[in-house]
């Protein structure tokens, strides 16, 4: 080692300290944060109020472990609730570790780190043969179905019939199933949707079908009482359990490959951890964010993973538990100390992050007072509470100025107008820089796919003062203008699907939507002759290939050639070439020397092409739906949308186009990757695309796919559900509907309870109230500078009880609110640093800034995804080879 | 020159004294005279208290100093000489240093430990009448051998990686050279002309292979860009070359550290201070380096600022020289804890005895740092320099001569002062501890150091 090298080592070893890193990152942790970051040994129970900087704490905690405690990135398991949060944490950590590298020269690779949603981590565990398999011989993990895939799987004719038959259900199955869910409908869509909601809950609670059926048949009086109290039918429950068993079987055997869903993949991961020796010590630290939203199987998994080390850190806020409908069990968090004792044999260290860095003092006071309006005591309070009670939230931004204001109690139209005027003033007077800094939050935005009247009123009031709204979850996504435009042009190119034998409101509404889209497409073509010409050319092309296919088919039939027989060019080429009505373009394809060569090669290998394949090949077209999408985007109407986004005037249209590209990519991936003429002959393509895929999206009211990075386009006011707003913050928040009716416990919860193998937790009759309180708490705590509450009054209007109490006569109202005292919203300071990659970001931007904006900024899916698929295939094959070599080496040793 | 055993005449100087021309010459000479008390007070009034600011002293100091010695290979051949240069870099952990004081005193054993964290580069130079390898002349030997030593594993941060060598650092600096001789590519440099045929420029790459002049085919070396070969003598002492090379190395070594840290752990640079002996200037044939230093420092500071870090601290501390001489004259008139940035007007008037100002301001072709005079609260006086806050002296819209003396342009000034206060030494006048340690570590004493080197030279060459 040279003297220089020795000097370097001395320097880089000593310049590093956590405090120095905090200084460089301009982070000044408070005492609780500091303690949470440096806690290393044993379980940690971290209660974190809204805006208390828990994400930063998690970030620094992970960094502290990796940099200062020799924990390898691959020994950290960090679970987050959303992929977005995982992405942010990973980028933040990478950036901070980059800082460490800049100080010490030591590089860090986060690739082995387990960071992501619990679903993605489970999936990773299933394929991590190195650490979670003894012999590296486990089969390829099952294909994971997301919610939409799951729906398509079960709703498919064949699967649905098989599942019903397996469950012993004949006749009016849909009506019977829907009846158990309390719905009078014969719709398969409704039945499938309800079943999936329950099946997922079953999976999350690790329901064993056989055991459940046994209990139903043999259980004691408590079950009878329960069924009687909630008016449930034992046979109905039994049927649902059988359907569940059949659904699981369908995943195992259907489609030729084993499939799984999110909930079941967790079960499988748990099973692996249970059976694989040493898997409880793979991770030296298990860290779980948003622990209040974990479900039973997740809780078991986390404790199992941490059993070997005891290092389980959970972070959460029971007051922000929102996802009961997805199986979340808030008791997992509230009762964590006791569970810790049970599973790990020791009590966790409790730390509470109570300083709120987000909101003005008055806002914090308001939502703290709001939560005190409910009685959280278990029975008489002797047995404790359903909530972590010893919290003392303190605002970091102390100010006596009012920051919470309500509208004048009035009829909805007047309230909306008053709020719209206030919003206009906030913008005009520079209190916020862009409309997307003002969020309107609602308990829900739509009902049965259509925008609620209460939401529409607010939207119209805002539009009346010249403001535009971005409401991706209000109404169907397919009802946005851009979807009308695009799908309308698609209708003109591909033509209508054949009329299906479907009844019902949904189908009628869908067909009307399709007609409107077609009319919109026509208007666009009318306004742009170039577009008109392009659409007609594509249409003619499709007609031509369909005619060619028919002509070739007729020739084959006239010669009695079997389409499955090998293609024999010497015998078949000439008659096909001379087929009556076969176009010149088609002839060129058939006569190509390249095709001849390929055919000869395949025949020589003993793998000749079939005649059917050749007919498809010479009549296929060289573009797919995504190509078509991008070509249409090149026309003036759509180009204007990109120009608007580029000038940062209005990003809404391009954001919507990005979402459409994602839906089209999914269609290609799952249904029709290449458009061939045989699909066009009997309008099979139109059936698949318009009649099945788009219809399913339409009736499901698909709205879920949003840009993970920046979902709120500039220039528009975001309308969000409160669930959607979780984890976000805005300078100004308008709670536009402080009303959530108590409709009792959800049906799925009622149907699930008899099968629970754990303590049931919060009583059914109080669930609705607790959930309402937590939901509004989330809404109220999103505001930074100003919280505006709509106060409706009048016939048919009401707001929930806690608001009635709090919005008393002395409460600040909009007309008397002094806007001057309100601080101007600061430009959003990126809380966590973002990492830009050299190839995906820098080089793409350098190549073309607009392309960068489209693909990286708005999440458009590239049209030529085949190359990526091939890349993945190569990668996975190499990985397989790698594992096989290691396995052989180990077995040899 | 006397013959051996010959004694000089006791009356030989009488002719000089009696020569009227000599007397006339002495009477006509202009020279610097000690200022009067009034002048001293006027000068002292220019000193101001340094700005008080919260500072964060660096974690480490690296002090670099050099020393050289020339040995004759034999008493019978006094005109055949080998030169030696030693460049020492002492690393001091300031936290460790702070703990050395026990009460009023410093623990001498632990000070000695500090010196153990020192590195040294030893260079040998073929001087008069010495040829190396197959080289035909002293000049060729000098060029080849210097290049080899700059490239050698001992100069590398990673012995196995030649791109971490001192020569690679030279490439990085030469690439930043403004004008036609800069390449902008840290793996290529240009020498202004081939030392053999005089044609140029010649572009060279940072590769291990020998490279040749495209014009004449002679061997050329990347280190030729330092142009020390221009002053090489075949038959006389090459003391000038040694001095030049030592000066270059004293400045190059800190930049060697900086370059490598900048590449691998750039933020660590904000935790460090570099002390070099003398003004921040490069004189002679390699003076062009000063521009590269300025550009490089600017790049480093830009990166550090991007991460919210303090600028890099580099201090040139002068133990001797004209300013130090001047300071000794006015010292008693200057109050404690006072600071002065030496501007051109002051320098030409009080220090350089009315010399004609040079184009573009003092040190336009050589200096990369501003000289400052500081009298500490304890009454010791230091002449030190901080790097100029600009990448060039021709920045558009900047009156460099005016701007270079504005304290506000030196954000690291308070830290430098705090550091000098912290490190002032009782050991030597005008020295801080790191420089004193570096000096002690590096200095080759006449006895026994010089004698031992003489013996080494003789034994090695006679063997």
Beta-carbon count within 10 A of B208 CB: 8
Q: How many CA atoms lie within 13 A of A396 on its CB side?
A: 16
To which H or E segment does residue A394 belong?
Answer: strand A394-397
What pLDDT, on the 0 to 100 scale, is given for residue A869? Answer: 54
What pLDDT sits at residue A291? 95
DSSP labels, A442-495: ES-SEETTEE-HHHHHHHHHHHHTT--EE-TTSS-GGGSHHHHHHHHHHHHHH-
CA atoms of A825 and A842, how far apart (whole Å): 30
| Residue A615 CB-half CA count within 13 A | 30
Q: How far is CA B326 from CA A603, B117, B439, in A?
A: 98, 35, 23
What is the predicted pLDDT for the residue at A683? Answer: 87
Point out the least confidently predicted range of A134-143, A440-449, A483-492, A561-570: A134-143
Enumerate the residues of chain B whose CB falls inside 8 A of the CB of residue A14.
59-60, 93, 95
In angstroms, the Cα distances linking B139 to A384, A590, B74, B386 are 92, 78, 21, 35
User: Over 50: is that where the pLDDT of A461 sits?
Assistant: yes
Q: What is the chain B residue with the closest CA to A833?
A: B307
Chain B residues closer than 8 Å to A7 by CB: 62, 89, 91, 117, 119, 257
Q: Are B88 and B436 in contact (CB under 8 A)?
A: no
Evaluate if residue B443 carries a pLDDT over 70. no
Token digits of residue B171? 């490439």
Q: Which residue from A2, A7, A102 is facing B91, i.e. has the nearest CB? A: A7
- Residue A348 dihedral angles phi and psi, to the nearest 5°: -80, 160
Tell me which of A721 and A702 has the higher pLDDT: A721
| Chain A partners within 8 Å of B93 (Cβ) | 10, 14
The angle at the Cα of A684, spanning A678 to A690, to the nearest 5 degrees, equals 140
Q: Does B167 touch chain A (CB under 8 A)?
A: no
Query: Which contiguous run of DSSP H or E holds residue B273?
Result: strand B272-277
**A19 contacts in chain B (CB < 8 Å):** none
Answer yes or no: are the C-beta atoms of A799 and A738 closer than 8 Å.
yes
CB A277 within 8 A of CB A308: no
Q: Could A15 and B156 be called an inter-chain contact, meaning their C-beta atoms sit closer than 8 Å?
A: no
Confidence of residue A171 (pLDDT cuts 50, 70, 90): confident
- Chain A closest-CA separation from residue B295 CA (Å): 21
Query: Across the strands, what pairs with A719?
Result: A440
Residue B252: band (very low, low, confident or very high) from pLDDT cuts 50, 70, 90:
very high
Distances (CA, A) of A437 to A206, A471, A714, B202: 42, 14, 9, 60
Average pLDDT of the residues in A394-416: 92
Looking at the predicted structure, is the pLDDT value of residue A774 above 90?
yes
CA B268 – CA B59 distance, rounded (Å): 9
Q: Identify the pLDDT of residue A708.
A: 46
- Using the Cβ of B154 and the Cβ atoms of chain A, whether some distance falls under 8 Å is answered with yes
Reading the block at residue B14, the tokens are 């009488």
A104 interface with B at CB cutoff 8 Å: yes
Q: What is the pLDDT of residues A776-789, one digit of tens each?
A: 999 999 999 999 99
Interface contact B427, partner A, CB < 8 A: no
Contacts of A63 (CB under 8 A, 6+ apart): A21, A93, A96, A97, A100
Tell the residue number behind the tokens 């920051």, with chain if given. Answer: A403
**Ranked by mean pLDDT, which of A226-230, A500-504, B160-164, B234-238 comes out on top?**
B160-164
Quote the CA–CA distance of A646 and A846 in Å, as a whole number: 16
B307: contact with A, CB 8 A cutoff = yes
Give me the pLDDT at residue A706, please. Answer: 47
pLDDT at B239 over 50: yes
User: What's the pLDDT score for residue A479?
Assistant: 80
ipTM field: 0.77
pLDDT, average across residues B425-452:
66
Q: Do A8 and B93 touch (CB under 8 A)?
A: no
Percentage of residues in chain B with pLDDT exceeding 90? Answer: 41
Give the residue with greater pLDDT, A12 vs A356. Answer: A356
The neighbouring-strand residues paired with B60 are B93, B272
- Flag whether residue A377 sits within 8 Å of chain B, measured between CB atoms: no
pLDDT of residue A697: 86
Cross-strand partners of A446: A451
> What is the pLDDT, as a whole number, of residue A440?
96
pLDDT, tens digit (0-9, with 9 covering 90-100), for B180-228: 999 999 999 999 999 999 998 999 999 999 999 999 999 999 999 999 8
Say whether pLDDT at A833 is over 70.
no
- pLDDT on residue A143: 83
Q: Are strands A349-353 and A44-48 parallel, antiparallel or unpaired?
A: parallel
> Which residues of chain B make contact with A99, given a CB cutoff of 8 A?
267, 307
Q: Which residue of B has its CA nearest to A26?
A: B308
Nearest CA to B401 out of B436, B360, B440 is that of B360
- Nearest residue of chain A to residue B253 (CA atoms): A4
CB contact under 8 A, A2 and B267: no
Name residues whose C-beta falls within 8 Å of residue A886's C-beta, 6 or more positions apart in sequence.
A130, A136
Contacts of B91 in chain A (CB under 8 A): 7, 10-11
pLDDT, position A12: 82
Instruction: Please state the rounded mean pLDDT for residues A727-731.
Output: 91
Q: Report residue B259 as tokens.
A: 């370059």
For the stretch B263-302, pLDDT in tens is 999 999 999 999 998 999 999 999 999 999 999 999 999 9
Query: Any alpha helices (H) in B367-432, and if so which ranges?
Result: 400-403, 413-423
What's the whole-number mean pLDDT along residues A803-821? 90
Percent of the residues in chain A that have a pLDDT greater than 70, as a whole number: 93
The Cα A288–Cα A52 span in angstroms is 16
pLDDT value at residue A670? 81
Instruction: Tell me: pLDDT of A518 over 50.
Output: yes
pLDDT (tens digit, 9 = 90+) per residue, A586-635?
A: 899 899 889 999 999 999 999 999 999 999 989 888 888 999 999 999 99
| CA distances to B104, B115, B267, B312 from B92, in Å | 20, 8, 18, 16
- B166 has a pLDDT exceeding 90: yes
CA-based nearest residue to B291, from B205, B398, B179, B203 = B179
- Fill in the DSSP letter of residue A626: H
Which pLDDT belongs to residue A761? 82
Q: What number is the average pLDDT over the span A429-435?
A: 91
Shortest Cα–Cα distance, B306 to chain A (Å): 10
Q: Is B60 an 8 Å CB contact of chain A? A: yes
- What pLDDT, on a 0 to 100 scale, did the predictor assign at position A6? 83
Inform me whether the C-beta atom of residue A605 falls under 8 Å from chain B C-beta atoms.
no
CB contact under 8 A, B119 and A102: no
C-alpha dist (Å) from residue A535 to A340, A385, A486, A671, B57: 64, 65, 11, 23, 71
Question: Tens digits of per-residue pLDDT, A850-879?
Answer: 777 888 777 788 876 445 555 666 776 777
Q: Residue window 12-31, chain A: list those with CB within 8 Å of chain B.
A: 12, 14-15, 20, 24, 26
Assess contact for A432 and A423: CB atoms under 8 A: no
Can you tell me which residue has the tokens 């002509």? A551
- The whole-number pLDDT of residue A543 equals 94
CA distance A57 to chain B (A): 21
CB-CB under 8 Å, A24 with B267: yes
Q: Which of A749-763, B75-89, B315-329 shows the lowest per-residue confidence on average (mean pLDDT)?
A: B75-89
Contact A76, A312 (CB under 8 A): no
Q: Does B324 touch chain A (CB under 8 A)?
A: no
Q: Tens of pLDDT along A566-589?
A: 999 889 999 999 999 899 988 998
Determine the pLDDT at residue A702.
Answer: 62
Q: Omega into A634 within 30° of 0, i.e. cis?
A: no
How far does the CA of residue B60 sit from the closest CA of chain A (Å)?
Answer: 7
Q: What is the pLDDT of residues A183-214, one digit of tens each?
A: 888 888 899 999 999 999 999 998 999 988 88
Q: Are the beta carbons of B119 and A7 separated by less than 8 Å?
A: yes
- pLDDT per residue as tens digits for the range A351-374: 999 999 999 999 999 999 999 999
Please compute the mean of the pLDDT values over residues A71-85 and round it to a whole number.
91
Res B101: pLDDT: 64
The two tokens of residue B20 are: 């009227």
Q: Which residue of A has its CA nearest to B96?
A: A14
């Amino acid at each position: 080692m040279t003297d220089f090298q020795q000097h370097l080592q001395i320097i880089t070893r000593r310049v590093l300290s956590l405090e120095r890193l905090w200084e460089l990152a301009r982070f000044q942790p408070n005492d609780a944060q500091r303690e949470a970051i440096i806690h290393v040994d044993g379980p940690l129970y971290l209660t974190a109020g809204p805006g208390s900087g828990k994400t930063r704490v998690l970030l620094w905690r992970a960094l502290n472990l990796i940099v200062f405690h020799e924990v390898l990135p691959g020994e950290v398991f960090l679970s987050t609730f959303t992929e977005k949060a995982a992405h942010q944490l990973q980028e933040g950590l990478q950036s901070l570790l980059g800082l460490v590298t800049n100080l010490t020269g030591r590089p860090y690779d986060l690739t082995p780190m387990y960071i992501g949603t619990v679903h993605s981590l489970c999936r990773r565990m299933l394929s991590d043969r190195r650490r979670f398999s003894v012999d590296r011989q486990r089969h390829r993990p099952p294909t994971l179905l997301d919610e939409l895939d799951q729906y398509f799987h079960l709703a498919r004719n064949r699967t649905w019939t098989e599942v019903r038959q397996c469950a012993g259900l004949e006749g009016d199955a849909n009506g019977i199933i829907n009846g158990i869910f309390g719905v009078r409908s014969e719709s398969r869509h409704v039945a499938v949707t309800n079943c999936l909601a329950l099946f997922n809950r079953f999976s999350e609670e690790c329901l064993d079908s056989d055991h459940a059926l046994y209990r139903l048949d043999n259980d004691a009086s408590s079950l009878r009482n329960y069924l009687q109290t909630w008016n449930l039918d034992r046979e109905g429950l039994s049927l649902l359990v059988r359907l569940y068993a059949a659904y699981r079987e369908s995943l195992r055997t259907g489609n030729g490959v084993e499939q799984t869903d999110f909930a079941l993949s967790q079960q499988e991961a748990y099973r692996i951890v249970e059976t694989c020796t040493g898997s409880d010590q793979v991770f030296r630290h298990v860290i779980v964010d948003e622990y209040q939203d974990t479900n039973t199987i997740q809780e078991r998994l986390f404790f199992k993973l941490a059993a070997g080390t005891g290092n389980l850190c959970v972070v959460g806020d029971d007051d922000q538990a929102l996802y009961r409908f997805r199986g979340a069990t808030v008791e997992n968090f509230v009762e964590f100390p006791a569970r810790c004792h049970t599973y790990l044999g020791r009590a966790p260290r409790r730390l509470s992050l109570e300083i709120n860095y987000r909101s003005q003092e008055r806002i914090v006071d308001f939502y703290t007072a709001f939560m005190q309006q409910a009685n959280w005591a278990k029975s008489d309070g002797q047995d404790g509470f359903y909530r972590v009670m010893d919290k003392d939230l303190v605002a970091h931004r102390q100010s006596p100025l009012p920051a919470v204001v309500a509208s004048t109690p009035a009829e909805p139209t007047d309230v909306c107008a008053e709020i719209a005027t206030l919003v206009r003033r906030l913008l005009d007077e520079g209190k916020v820089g862009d409309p997307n800094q003002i969020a309107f939050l609602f308990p829900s935005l739509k009902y049965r796919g259509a925008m609620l009247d209460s939401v529409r009123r607010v939207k119209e009031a805002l539009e009346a003062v010249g403001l535009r709204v971005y409401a991706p979850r209000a109404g169907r996504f397919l009802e946005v203008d851009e979807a009308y435009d695009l799908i309308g042009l698609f209708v003109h190119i591909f033509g209508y699907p054949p009329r299906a034998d479907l009844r019902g409101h949904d189908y009628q509404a869908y067909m009307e939507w399709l007609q409107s889209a077609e009319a919109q497409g026509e208007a666009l073509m009318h306004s742009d002759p170039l577009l008109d010409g392009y659409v007609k050319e594509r249409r003619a092309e499709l007609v031509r290939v369909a005619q060619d296919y028919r002509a070739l088919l007729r020739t084959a039939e006239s010669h009695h050639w079997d389409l499955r027989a090998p293609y024999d060019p010497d015998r078949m080429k000439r008659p096909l070439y001379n087929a009556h009505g076969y176009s010149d373009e088609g002839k060129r394809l058939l006569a190509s020397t390249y095709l001849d060569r390929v055919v000869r090669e395949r025949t020589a290998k003993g793998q000749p092409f079939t005649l059917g394949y050749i007919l498809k090949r010479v009549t296929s077209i060289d573009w797919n739906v995504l190509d078509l999408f991008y070509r249409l985007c090149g026309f003036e109407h759509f180009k204007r949308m990109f120009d608007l986004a580029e000038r940062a005037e209005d990003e809404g249209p391009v954001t919507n186009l990005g979402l459409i590209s994602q839906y089209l990519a999914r269609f290609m991936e799952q249904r029709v990757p290449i458009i061939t003429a045989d699909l066009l002959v009997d309008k099979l393509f139109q059936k698949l695309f318009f009649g099945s895929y788009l219809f399913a999206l339409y009736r499901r009211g698909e709205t879920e796919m949003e840009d993970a990075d920046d979902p709120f386009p500039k220039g528009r006011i975001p309308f969000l559900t409160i669930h959607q707003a979780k984890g976000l913050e805005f300078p100004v928040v308008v709670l536009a509907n402080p009303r959530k009716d108590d409709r009792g416990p959800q049906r799925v919860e009622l149907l699930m309870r008899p099968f629970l193998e754990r303590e049931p937790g919060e009583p059914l009759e109080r669930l609705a109230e607790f959930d309402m309180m937590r939901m509004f708490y989330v809404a109220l705590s999103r505001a930074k500078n100003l919280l505006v509450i709509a106060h409706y009054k009048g016939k048919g209007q009401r707001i929930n009880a806690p608001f009635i109490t709090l919005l008393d006569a002395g409460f600040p109202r909009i007309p008397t609110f002094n806007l001057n005292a309100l601080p101007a919203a600061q430009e959003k300071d990126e809380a966590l640093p973002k990492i830009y990659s050299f190839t995906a970001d820098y080089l793409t931007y350098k190549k073309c800034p607009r392309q960068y904006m489209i693909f990286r900024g708005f999440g458009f899916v590239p049209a030529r995804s085949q190359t990526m698929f091939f890349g993945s295939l190569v990668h996975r094959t190499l990985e397989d080879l790698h594992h096989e070599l290691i396995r052989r080496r180990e077995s040899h040793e | 020159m006397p013959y051996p055993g010959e004694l000089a005449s006791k009356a030989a100087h009488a002719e000089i004294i009696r020569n009227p021309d000599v007397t006339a010459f002495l009477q006509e000479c202009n020279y610097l005279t000690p200022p009067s008390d009034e002048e001293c007070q006027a000068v002292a009034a220019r000193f101001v208290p340094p700005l008080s600011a919260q500072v964060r002293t660096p974690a480490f100091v690296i002090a670099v100093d050099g020393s050289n010695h020339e040995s004759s290979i034999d008493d019978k051949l006094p005109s055949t000489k080998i030169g030696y240069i030693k460049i020492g870099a002492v690393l001091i952990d300031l936290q460790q240093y702070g703990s050395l004081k026990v009460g009023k005193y410093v623990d001498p054993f632990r000070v000695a430990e500090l010196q153990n964290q020192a590195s040294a580069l030893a260079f040998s130079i073929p001087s008069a009448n010495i040829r190396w390898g197959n080289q035909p002349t002293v000049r060729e030997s000098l060029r080849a051998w210097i290049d080899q030593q700059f490239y050698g594993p001992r100069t590398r941060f990673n012995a196995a990686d030649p791109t971490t060598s001192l020569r690679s650092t030279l490439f990085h600096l030469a690439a930043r050279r403004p004008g036609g001789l800069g390449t902008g590519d840290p793996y290529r440099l240009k020498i202004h002309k081939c030392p053999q045929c005089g044609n140029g420029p010649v572009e060279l790459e940072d590769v291990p292979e020998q490279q040749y002049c495209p014009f004449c085919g002679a061997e050329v070396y990347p280190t030729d860009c330092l142009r020390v070969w221009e002053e090489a003598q075949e038959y006389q002492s090459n003391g000038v070359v040694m001095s030049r090379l030592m000066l270059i190395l004293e400045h190059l070594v800190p930049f060697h550290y900086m370059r490598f840290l900048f590449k691998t752990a750039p933020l660590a640079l904000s935790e460090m201070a570099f002390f070099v002996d003398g003004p921040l200037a490069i004189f002679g044939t390699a003076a062009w380096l000063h521009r590269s230093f300025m550009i490089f420092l600017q790049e480093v500071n830009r990166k550090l600022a991007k991460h919210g870090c303090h600028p890099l601290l580099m201090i040139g501390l002068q133990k001797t020289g004209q300013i130090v001489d001047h300071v000794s004259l006015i010292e008693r008139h200057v109050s404690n804890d006072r600071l002065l940035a030496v501007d051109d007007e002051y320098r030409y008037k009080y220090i350089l005895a009315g010399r004609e100002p040079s184009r573009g301001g003092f040190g336009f072709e050589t200096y990369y740092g501003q000289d400052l005079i500081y009298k500490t609260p304890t009454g010791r006086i230091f002449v030190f320099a901080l790097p100029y806050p600009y990448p060039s002296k021709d920045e558009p819209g900047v009156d460099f001569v005016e701007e270079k003396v504005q304290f506000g342009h030196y954000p690291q000034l308070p830290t430098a002062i705090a550091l000098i206060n912290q490190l002032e030494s009782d050991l030597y006048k005008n020295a801080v501890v790191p420089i004193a340690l570096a000096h002690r570590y590096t200095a080759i004493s006449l006895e026994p150091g010089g004698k031992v080197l003489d013996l080494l030279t003789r034994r090695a060459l006679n063997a």
